[in-house]
């Protein structure tokens, strides 16, 4: 199994009241599954994704990726594991403003030591496949929202992850840009990568094989 989420819970406190932003969620994903998660604002989708991506520690429960329980690893090991297996596309714009598109894409690769390997050719190939080679030397300030989002997707792919996680990859984009993003994500799925995306958009969810619905921290039918 690529991903196993078991009895996952995250509790937060608001004023004096404790509540579960994610409440006892379990599901699994096979290699090359494409799953979307939908639910109202505040239903816990980002909290769930952040725990699956190893960015947030759960109050209770387990996340296993390729047989490794993320929360049994120390901080350094989690970072190395994420870098190798996971591609994460966060909500909104996440590019570093002082780096070019090419430098942003290559950044995750350069964060871990890889002897005698370069990410340059692969980064150029990714740009070509996404039909945005013209952006290679551009800075984020000079790109459209859709272009920035596509660069963030390519950045998530540079280490050739087995699982790509995307939080609202098409939010705030027009129909044409959304379609370009989804074509890129559908292509990643075609190449054999597992995809887990959070979306508000029924059309976007329509690209996935299965939709999980969240309400008040729980999965509902
Ligand atoms: N660090 C935090 N401390 C306290 N409460 C939090 C924290 N992070 C999130 N929450 C609360 O947990 C609930 C779930 O938030 P989350 O961001 O996961 O929802 P979401 O479904 O992703 O919403 P949206 O669609 O608006 O992005 C919300 O009620 C939110 O206010």
Q: Is the CB of 20 under 6 A from ligand 1?
A: no
- Write down all domains in the chain, each with its CATH number in brackets: 3-220 (3.40.50.300)
146 Cα: distance to centroid of ligand 1 (angstroms): 25
List strands edge to edge, sheet with 34-39. 86-89, 163-167, 194-198, 34-39, 210-215, 218-220
Q: Which of 8, 10, 18, 47 to mutate to test the pocket of ligand 1 (most atoms within 8 A of CB)?
A: 47
State how far the Cα of 188 lies from the Cα of 23, in Å rounded to an integer.
30
Residue nearest to atom 12 of ligand 1 (CA): 21
What percent of the chain stands above pLDDT 70?
Answer: 99
**What is the tens place of the pLDDT at every residue in 192-217?**
999 999 999 999 999 999 999 999 99
What band does 116 get if pLDDT is binned at 50, 70 and 90? low
C-beta of residue 210 within 8 angstroms of C-beta of residue 36? yes
Separation of 217 CA from ligand 1 center, angstroms? 9
């Amino acid at each position: 199994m690529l991903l196993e989420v078991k009895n996952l819970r995250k509790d937060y406190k608001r004023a004096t009241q404790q509540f579960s932003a994610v409440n006892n969620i379990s599901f699994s994903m096979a290699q090359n599954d494409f799953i979307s998660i939908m639910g109202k604002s505040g239903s816990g989708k980002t909290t769930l994704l952040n725990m699956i991506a190893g960015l947030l520690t759960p109050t209770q429960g387990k996340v296993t990726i390729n047989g490794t329980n993320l929360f049994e690893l120390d901080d350094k090991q989690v970072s190395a594991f994420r870098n190798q297996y996971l591609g994460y596309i966060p909500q909104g714009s996440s590019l570093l403003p002082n780096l070019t598109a090419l430098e942003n894409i290559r950044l995750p690769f350069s964060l871990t030591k890889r002897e005698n390997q370069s990410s340059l050719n692969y980064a150029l190939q990714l740009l070509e496949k996404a039909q945005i080679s013209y952006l290679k030397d551009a800075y984020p300030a000079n790109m459209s929202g859709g272009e920035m989002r596509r660069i963030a997707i390519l950045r998530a792919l540079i280490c050739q992850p087995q699982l790509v996680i995307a939080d609202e990859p098409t939010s705030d984009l027009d129909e044409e840009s959304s379609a370009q993003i989804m074509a890129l994500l559908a292509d990643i799925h075609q190449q054999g990568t597992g995809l887990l995306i959070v979306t508000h958009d029924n059309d976007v969810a329509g690209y996935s094989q299965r939709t999980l619905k969240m309400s008040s921290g729980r999965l509902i039918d």
